Structure 1
Amino acid sequence: MQRIIQYFHPLVWIILSGTVFVRTASFMAIPFLALYLHNELQASPLLIGVTLGVAPLFSTFGGFIGGYLTDRFGRKIVITATVFIWSLTFIGFALASSAIYFVVLNAVNGLCRSFFEPGTQALMIDFTEDAKKRRLFSVRYTAINIAAVIGPLLGVWVASLSSPSTPFMITGFMYALYGMFLLFILNRYEMKQRKLGANQRVLTIVNAVLHDRKLLLFIAGGILITLGYSQFDSTLPQFINMNVEDGVRLFSYVIVANSITVLTFQLPLTMLSEKISIYASLKIGVVIFAVGLFLFGVSLSPWMFIASMVVFSVGEIFSFPMMNAVIEEIAPEDQKGTYLGAAQFKNIGGFIGPILGGWLLTSYIDYMFGVISFIILCSIFIYNRAQRLT
C-alpha cells in the first residue's frame, strides 16, 4: 500500500482524489439535466437539444484558451478561479426559473470544464516523472469512471429525498468546498511550472500550434475515435431498443458492464500496456474498440450486446488515456496546458458522431456499426503518419 502511495507525488494523489470528488458532484446533476428541463420547466425538445449541445461546443473551443491561460499565468490561479465560477454556475442551475437561462449556464459549464481539465492535467504532469506519466493518465481515467458510477446513483437518491433542483445546489456547494480546499493545499507546494514569457501572446502560440502538423494529426485521429465513442450514448441505446425486447433495461445493463469492465481491468491493462510503446498501445486500443463496435451490429441477444460492450470497454481502456499521453509527449515544456487544451478539439467528433450515426440508423441500419468501425480504424493511418513526422 505504501509503495502505491509513494508512486505519485502527494499533490498528484490530492488532485486525483479531487477529480473523483468534483466529477461525482457533476455526475449527480448533469446526466439529469435534460429530464429536469423537460419535467420541471417544460422546455421544448429543441431548447433541450441546444442547452445540451452548447456545453461540448464551448468546451471544444474554450480548451485552447484555458490551456494557454494556465501556461501563461499559472495553474493555481486558473484552476481555483474556475472552480469557484463553476460552483456559482451549478447554484445558478438550481435557482434558474426559466429554461432559457440554462443555455447560458451550460455554456459556462462547458467553458469551466475546458479550463479545469487542461489545468489539472498539466499540474499533475508538472509533479510526475516522465516514466510514470502513462500510468498517471490511466489512473486519472479510472478516477473519472469511479465518479461516473457513484454520481448518478447519488443524484437519484438526493432528488428522491427532496426537490429535483437539490442535486444542482449540492453540486455547487461541493465545488465551492473543493475550491477552498485547493486554495489551502496549493499554497503549501511550490509550483514546478515553466510559464510562458510575457512576450508570448496568445496569437503567437495559436499560430505555432496550428503549424504543428504532428499535433493536428493527433487531433484528427482523436476526432475519429471520439466520433465512434459518441455512438455509446446516441445510436446504441436506440439500436438496442429497436432489436431487443425491453431494450431500455438491457441498455442499463450494458452501461453497468462498461463501468465494471473499466474499473476492473484499467490498472492491470495499463501495467501491461506500459511494456509497449504509447503508439502501439493506442493502435491496439483502436482495433479492439472498432471490433467491439462492429460486434454491436451483429449482436442478436442480450448476452451478445453485453459481451460486445466488454470488448468495446477494453479498447476504451487502451486508447482513451493514450490520446492525451501522446499529446503531452510532443508538447513543449512551457506549453503543456496549451497543447492539452488544443486536444479538446477532438470533441468535435462528439458533435459529428450522433448526427452521422442518426443518419445511418435511419437509412443504413444494417451497415451502421460497420461503417463507424471502419472510420475509427482510419485513425490508425493518421497516427502512423504522425509517428513518422520528426
Structure 2
Amino acid sequence: MTANLRQIHPLSWTIIIGTIFGRMATSMSIPFLSIYLIGRLGATPLESGVVVAVSSLIGVFASFYGGYISDVIGRKKVLFISIFGWALVFVGFALADRIWLFFIINALNGLCRAMFEPTSRALLADITPQESKLLVFNLRYAAINLGVVAGPILGLQMGSSHSGGAFYIAGLVYFCYGAVLVFQFLGHKHIGGVSGESRDPLTLTEALRVTGKDRTFVYVLIGMIFCVLGYGHFSSTLAQYMELSPHFTDGAKWFGYMLSLNAVVVLTVQYPLVRFAGRFSPMVPLIAGNLCVACSLLMFGLFPYLWTMMLGVVVFTIGEVLMFTMTDVLVDRIASPELRGTYFGMFGFNNLGNVLAPLLGGFLLNGFGANHAIPIFAVIALTTAFGLPFLLLARKHLPEGKE
C-alpha cells in the first residue's frame, strides 16, 4: 500500500484533493436544487424534475465528445475549459431568478461536468502505473464521498434550500481548483497534451463505431444505465418525496442528514468491500450492487419511518459502493490506450439514468402523490433491476484476460 501511494503522480493528488473540495462545494447546493425550485420559485415536482434532468441529459451526449476531444487535443485544454466554465456556471446559479434560467444554467452545468469528469479519469489512467490504478480510482471515489460528508450539512446551515449563497462558494472553489491545475501543469508540460499514440486519431464517427462494436462494453454500459437510474432517484425523487410527504416534518433537513449518512457509510465500508470484491470478476460487485440499490428503493416506499429510511440509506450505500468502485478500472481494462478518453467519455452515456430518474420520479409523484409511496418506489425499484440481465451478459462475454 505504502509503495503504491508513493507511485501516485502529484497531478493525481491534485485531482483527488481537488475532488474533495469540489464535491463539498457542489453538495452544498446542487442536491437541494429541486427543493430550492419548489420552495423558492414555486415550481411543480415535474418542472423541478425537468430542470434537474437537463444537466444529465446534456451530459449524456457531451460526455462522449468531451472524452473523445481530450484524445484529440489533449487532456489539459479540456480540463481548463471545463473547470473555469464550471466556476462561471455556479455564479449563474446564484444570480438566476427564473425557472427557465435554471434550466439553461443547469444544462451548462451538465456540459462542464461531462467534459471534466471523463477527461480527469482518463488523465489519472494515463499517469498511473497499472498496479496502482485500482488504488487511485478508489481514492478518487473516496474523495467524492469525503466531500459529500460535510457539504450537505454546510448547505443546511447556509439555508441552501432557500438561499443561493452556496452557489457563490462553489464557483470560488472551482476557480481555485482550476488555478492550482494551471500552476501544476506548468511544472509538468509534457503531461496532458496529445500523446504520440494519438497523432492520427480516429474521427468521431469511427470512434463511435469502435466502441459500439465492443460487445462487452455495450452490455456494461446498458446495465449501468439502469444502475444509475436507481442511483439518481436518491438525489431527485427521494429529495422531493422527503419535502412533500405527510409522513415527515422538515424533510429538507432530514434529507441533508441522509446525504451525509450516505457519504459516511461510503467512507466506512469502501475499503473492506473493495478488498472483498477484488476476489471476484469485476462484474460480480456490479450485479450485487444493483440488487442492493433496488432493494433499498423498495424499502423507502414500504417503510416510511425515519429509522427505516436511514437503514435504507445504508443498504443503498453498500450497493452504490459495489456498483461504482470497480467501473473505472473495468473501463480502463476494456479500453485500448489510444482510445482511453473515448471509452471513458462513451461510458458517460450511463448518465441517461440520471436523466430518466428525476423525470420518472416527478411523473410518479405528480400521478400518485407523495402520500402513496409504495407504488412510486416499487416502480423505480423494478426499473433499477432491469439492469441485471445486461450485467449478466457482460459477465458472460468479459474476456478472461480482462478479469
TM-score with structure 2 setting the length: 0.83
Q: Which runs of 5+ in 1 are unaligned?
A: none
* C-alpha distance in 1 between matches for 2:111 and 2:167: 17
Identify if the C-alpha distance between structure 1 residues 297 and 387 changes in structure 2 by more than 3 Å, giving closer, same or farther.
Answer: farther
For 1:21, the equivalent position in structure 2 comes to 21
Could you tell which deviates more after superposition, 355-364 or 287-296?
Answer: 355-364
Could you tell which deviates more after superposition, 92-101 or 220-229?
Answer: 92-101
* C-alpha distance in 1 between matches for 2:315 and 2:400: 31
* C-alpha distance in 2 between matches for 1:345 and 1:215: 12
Cα deviation for residue 11 of structure 1 reads 2.0
Would the aligned equivalents of 1:55 and 1:106 in 2 still touch at CA under 8 Å? Answer: yes
* C-alpha distance in 1 between matches for 2:311 and 2:45: 33
One-letter amino acid of the structure 1 residue matched with residue 217 of structure 2 = L
Whether 1:171 aligns to 2:175 is no
* C-alpha distance in 2 between matches for 1:98 and 1:26: 21
One-letter amino acid of the structure 1 residue matched with residue 102 of structure 2 = F
Identify if the C-alpha distance between structure 1 residues 42 and 285 changes in structure 2 by more than 3 Å, giving closer, same or farther.
Answer: closer
* C-alpha distance in 1 between matches for 2:156 and 2:241: 26
Aligned length: 388
One-letter amino acid of the structure 2 residue matched with residue 371 of structure 1 = L
For 1:11, the equivalent position in structure 2 comes to 11
For 1:307, the equivalent position in structure 2 comes to 311
For 2:75, the equivalent position in structure 1 comes to 75
Could you tell which deviates more after superposition, 15-24 or 188-197?
Answer: 188-197
Whether 1:346 aligns to 2:357 is no
For 1:387, the equivalent position in structure 2 comes to 398
For 1:324, the equivalent position in structure 2 comes to 328
Deviation string, structure 1 residues 97-126 (Cα, Å, up to 9, x no partner): 544333222211110000000111111111
Cα deviation for residue 245 of structure 1 reads 5.5
Q: Match of 1:116, SS? A: helix
Cα deviation for residue 253 of structure 1 reads 4.8
Runs of 4 or more, structure 1, over 6 Å off, are 238-241
Whether 1:281 aligns to 2:285 is yes
Q: Match of 1:8, SS? A: coil
Q: 1:200 aligns with which of 189, 198, 202?
A: 202
Would the aligned equivalents of 2:89 and 2:171 in 1 still touch at CA under 8 Å? Answer: yes
Q: 1:225 aligns with which of 223, 227, 232?
A: 227
* C-alpha distance in 1 between matches for 2:293 and 2:38: 34
For 1:183, the equivalent position in structure 2 comes to 182
Cα deviation for residue 72 of structure 1 reads 0.8
Identify if the C-alpha distance between structure 1 residues 211 and 271 changes in structure 2 by more than 3 Å, giving closer, same or farther.
Answer: same
For 2:338, the equivalent position in structure 1 comes to 334
Could you tell which deviates more after superposition, 341-350 or 37-46?
Answer: 37-46
Matches within 5 A, 1:107-122: 107-122=107-122
Cα deviation for residue 265 of structure 1 reads 1.1
Identify if the C-alpha distance between structure 1 residues 90 and 194 changes in structure 2 by more than 3 Å, giving closer, same or farther.
Answer: farther
Identify if the C-alpha distance between structure 1 residues 284 and 7 changes in structure 2 by more than 3 Å, giving closer, same or farther.
Answer: farther
* C-alpha distance in 2 between matches for 1:45 and 1:370: 20
* C-alpha distance in 2 between matches for 1:331 and 1:314: 27
TM-score with structure 1 setting the length: 0.86
* C-alpha distance in 2 between matches for 1:37 and 1:271: 41
Would the aligned equivalents of 2:53 and 2:358 in 1 still touch at CA under 8 Å? Answer: no
* C-alpha distance in 1 between matches for 2:45 and 2:301: 28
State the identity as a percent: 34
Cα deviation for residue 145 of structure 1 reads 1.2
Cα deviation for residue 77 of structure 1 reads 1.1
* C-alpha distance in 1 between matches for 2:233 and 2:278: 28
Could you tell which deviates more after superposition, 48-57 or 359-368?
Answer: 359-368
Would the aligned equivalents of 2:226 and 2:384 in 1 still touch at CA under 8 Å? Answer: no
Cα deviation for residue 13 of structure 1 reads 1.4
For 1:130, the equivalent position in structure 2 comes to 130
Whether 1:152 aligns to 2:157 is no
Deviation string, structure 1 residues 143-175 (Cα, Å, up to 9, x no partner): 111212222333344458xx9333222322222
* C-alpha distance in 1 between matches for 2:267 and 2:43: 36
For 2:57, the equivalent position in structure 1 comes to 57
Identify if the C-alpha distance between structure 1 residues 57 and 3 changes in structure 2 by more than 3 Å, giving closer, same or farther.
Answer: same
Deviation string, structure 1 residues 162-217 (Cα, Å, up to 9, x no partner): x9333222322222222111111022123275552345222221222222222211
* C-alpha distance in 1 between matches for 2:326 and 2:232: 18
Could you tell which deviates more after superposition, 292-301 or 206-215?
Answer: 292-301
Q: Which runs of 5+ in 2 are unaligned?
A: none
Q: Match of 1:173, SS? A: helix
Whether 1:377 aligns to 2:388 is yes
Cα deviation for residue 336 of structure 1 reads 1.1
* C-alpha distance in 2 between matches for 1:63 and 1:3: 34
Deviation string, structure 1 residues 264-310 (Cα, Å, up to 9, x no partner): 11122223323333223333333444444454455475434333332
Would the aligned equivalents of 1:244 and 1:302 in 2 still touch at CA under 8 Å? Answer: no
Identify if the C-alpha distance between structure 1 residues 379 and 239 changes in structure 2 by more than 3 Å, giving closer, same or farther.
Answer: farther
